[in-house]
């Protein structure tokens, strides 16, 4: 699999996982878990952007 596609897939996975952690943290009133979810969601979005850049550059 091309690295750009792999970055996009992994980025999406981390976004979904982060959103789940964020919601779980909100529901359980666990601010640490909520913060971890937000961080992971942002990391996923960043990884997806890297995948888009790699695609443009042809990697």
Long-range interactions of 24-28: CB distance < 8 A, separation 24+: none
Q: Please, are residues 8 and 41 in contact by the beta-carbon 8 Å criterion?
A: no
The pLDDT confidence band at residue 1, using thresholds 50, 70 and 90, is: low
Residue 55: per-residue pLDDT: 87
Q: Rounded to an integer, what distance in angstroms lies between the CA atom of residue 56 and that of residue 50?
A: 10
Q: What is the pTM of this model?
A: 0.83
Q: Please, are residues 10 and 40 in contact by the beta-carbon 8 Å criterion?
A: no
What would the pLDDT profile of 6-26 be if each residue is shown by its tens digit? 999 999 999 999 999 999 999
What is the maximal distance between C-alpha atoms in the chain?
44
In 3D space, the residue among 20, 16, 22, 18 whose CA is nearest the CA of residue 34 turns out to be: 22
């Amino acid at each position: 699999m091309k690295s750009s596609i792999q970055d996009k897939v992994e980025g999406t996975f981390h976004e979904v996982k982060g959103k789940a952690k964020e919601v779980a943290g909100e529901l359980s009133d666990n601010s640490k878990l909520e913060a971890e979810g937000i961080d992971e969601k942002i990391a996923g979005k960043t990884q997806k952007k890297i995948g888009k850049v790699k695609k443009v550059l042809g990697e």
